[in-house]
Amino acid sequence: MTSARPADSSHSQGGSQGQGYGTPAEQHYHPPQAYPTPPAPPGNAPTVGQQPTQQRSGSGTGSAPGASGPSTQGGGVRRPRTGARTVPRVRKARLRVAKADPWSVMKVSFLLSIALGICTVIAVSVLWMVMDGMGVFSTIGETITQATETDNDSGFDLESFLSLPRVLIFTSVIAVIDVVLATALATLGAFLYNLSAGFVGGVEVTLAEDE
């Protein structure tokens, strides 16, 4: 009787150990690894095969800071509007021309008047060639010659009077006079503007810039 009880107690202990070993709470399965796990780098940067703790904790709750996307109070996700048009803003600056430098005005007006004189000479020469090719001078010249012809005089020759060299010389003289007059008038206008700006403040200009 006394020898059977330790056997029963050992059997009961073995059975309880066998049942405890088979429970899922105490059973841990570790799969075999082909390569050893590399050591964790310093800092909070996750390695390959590891997930960030912030994302892992945020996947369970919707109010975690790692949750992606803005959320409203009702739980829905706010999506940006794709068809909305952005209106460009315009910055405006109000400036005043207080003074015009007469020397700079004179230089600019001189160069512009020279360019205008050259363009005038070229335009007159091209116009003369076109009219001469169309026979305008010959037709008008014959009519004027017949009208002014007398017994002692052959009449006025328009073609010789309006020859190309004479026309170009006359146009060049007009261009030179235009250069002198334009430069002088622009410089005088700068002086007059400075005098008037001292009394009324000058011309106000509003500048706008699109952002």
Structural domain count, the chain: 1
Q: How far apart are CA 56 and CA 126, in angstroms?
A: 85
Alpha-carbon Rg for the chain, nearest whole angstrom, is 51
Q: Is residue 181 part of a domain?
A: yes
Residue 102: what pLDDT? 92
Asked which of 115-119, 130-134, 148-152 is least confident by mean pLDDT, the reply is 148-152
Q: Is residue 42 part of a domain?
A: no
What residues make up the domain containing 130?
93-210
Q: Is residue 100 part of a domain?
A: yes
Q: Is residue 145 part of a domain?
A: yes
Condensed to tens digits (0 to 9), the pLDDT of residues 101-131 reads: 999 999 999 999 999 999 999 999 999 999 8
Neighbour count for residue 172 (Cβ, 10 Å):
15
Q: Is residue 23 part of a domain?
A: no
Q: Is residue 17 part of a domain?
A: no
Q: Could you give the maximum distance between any two Cα atoms of the chain, in Å?
A: 180
Residue 27, pLDDT above cutoff 90: no
Residue 17, pLDDT above cutoff 50: no
Residue 16, pLDDT above cutoff 50: no
pTM, 2 dp: 0.51
Q: Is residue 161 part of a domain?
A: yes
Three-state secondary structure along 137-167?
HHHHHHHHHHHHCCCCCCCCCHHHHCCHHHH
Condensed to tens digits (0 to 9), the pLDDT of residues 44-80 reads: 555 555 555 444 444 444 444 444 444 445 556 666 5
Residue 40, pLDDT above cutoff 70: no
Q: Is residue 62 part of a domain?
A: no
